[in-house]
């Protein structure tokens, strides 16, 4: 019995669980919502100097006055007001690998550490691609356009740029999960085998799982950095912001590290098995 194989087994099981959680986080309103890739906060939209209520040009604020029947200046000047809510928009979007969820801050977005109340989630799809431009455009009231709220074109450009990367990320996650599952079986085999063949097979499977999950994690990190940087750079003028999903990044990179550790232990098992085989061969010749 090879006791070190228990370590590779534990690593493979943990990596499999973490990878699955990373892939399926946010599949319901209550399942791992805080393990999102990115949070898009649009609750403060309109609370910037870019929005001028005195121009009287029949644009965004004139339409808003007609729709809401209230003094727009008071709405903007009150820092606790929620223009997104006035526009029937959610306060935030939580972006996951295969869907997104939306909701509102309670009691409002200006208090420290507000509660995030998730109200609904999109349908889960394998090749999901978050498109905030289209989502916000579809949610705007009749008569209000993206141009009225000065939605940056650069955000839509970034959406197109990361579409292919998003698809590649999902494929790598699926492959990594499959190899992690196989790694569990090869680790069990290695526990009851002392030859170098089981260690070699275990290493190959562990390394392929590490490579797949590692690539998925790298792509996910690149997508998150690209999206948040673009939104924060060009969205600040209209009062929107994006935040990286620290817990998601922790889970996916932990899964990568675990499979790397499993691969290292497996190659050590292979080398150890070879030395053991030589020892037995020399003893037999004596």
Q: What is the pLDDT of residues 208-246, one digit of tens each?
A: 999 999 999 999 999 999 889 988 888 887 778 889 989
The whole-number pLDDT of residue 4 equals 77
User: Please, what is the end-to-end C-alpha distance for the chain in angstroms?
Assistant: 26
User: 82: pLDDT confidence band, cut at 50, 70 and 90?
Assistant: low
Please report the DSSP string for 60-98 in residue order: HHHHHHHHH-S-HHHHHH-TT--HHHHTT--SEEEE-SS
What is the reported pTM?
A: 0.80
Please state, rounded to an integer, the average pLDDT across all residues of the chain: 79
The whole-number pLDDT of residue 76 equals 46
Taking residues 66-93, report their average pLDDT: 57
Which of 36-40, 72-76, 89-93, 265-269 is predicted most confidently? 36-40
Which of 51-55, 172-176, 198-202 is predicted most confidently? 172-176
Percent of the chain at pLDDT exceeding 90? 29
- Phi, psi torsion values for 266, nearest 5 degrees: -65, -40
The whole-number pLDDT of residue 54 equals 47
The whole-number pLDDT of residue 86 equals 64
Q: 37 Cβ partners below 8 Å, 6+ apart?
A: 95, 96, 97, 220, 223, 224, 245, 248
pLDDT digits (tens, 9 = 90+) for 168-178: 999 999 999 99
């Amino acid at each position: 019995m090879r006791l070190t194989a228990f370590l590779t087994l534990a690593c493979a099981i943990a990596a499999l669980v973490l990878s699955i959680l990373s892939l399926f986080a946010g599949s319901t309103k209550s399942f791992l919502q805080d393990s999102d890739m990115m949070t898009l906060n649009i609750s403060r939209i309109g609370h910037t100097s870019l929005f001028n209520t005195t121009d009287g040009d029949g644009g965004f604020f004139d339409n808003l006055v007609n729709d809401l029947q209230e003094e727009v200046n008071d709405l903007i000047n009150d820092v606790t007001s929620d223009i997104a809510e006035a526009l029937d928009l959610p306060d935030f979007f939580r972006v996951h690998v295969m869907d997104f969820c939306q909701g509102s801050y309670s009691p409002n977005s200006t208090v420290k550490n507000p509660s995030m109340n998730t109200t609904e989630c999109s349908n889960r799809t394998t090749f999901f691609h978050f498109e905030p431009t289209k989502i916000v455009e579809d949610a705007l009231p009749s008569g209000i356009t993206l141009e009225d709220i000065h939605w940056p074109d650069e955000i839509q450009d970034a959406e197109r740029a990361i579409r292919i990367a998003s698809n590649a990320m999902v494929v790598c996650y699926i492959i990594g999960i499959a190899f992690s599952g196989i790694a569990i079986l090869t680790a069990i085999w290695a526990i009851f085998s002392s030859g170098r063949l089981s260690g070699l097979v275990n290493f190959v499977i562990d390394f392929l799982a590490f490579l797949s999950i590692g690539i998925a994690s790298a792509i996910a990190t690149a997508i998150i950095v690209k999206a948040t940087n673009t939104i924060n750079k060009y969205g600040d003028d209209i009062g929107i912001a994006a935040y990286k999903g620290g817990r998601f990044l922790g889970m996916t990179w932990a899964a990568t590290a675990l499979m790397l550790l499993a691969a290292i232990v497996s190659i050590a098992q292979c080398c150890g098995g070879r030395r053991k085989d030589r020892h037995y061969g020399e003893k037999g010749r004596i």
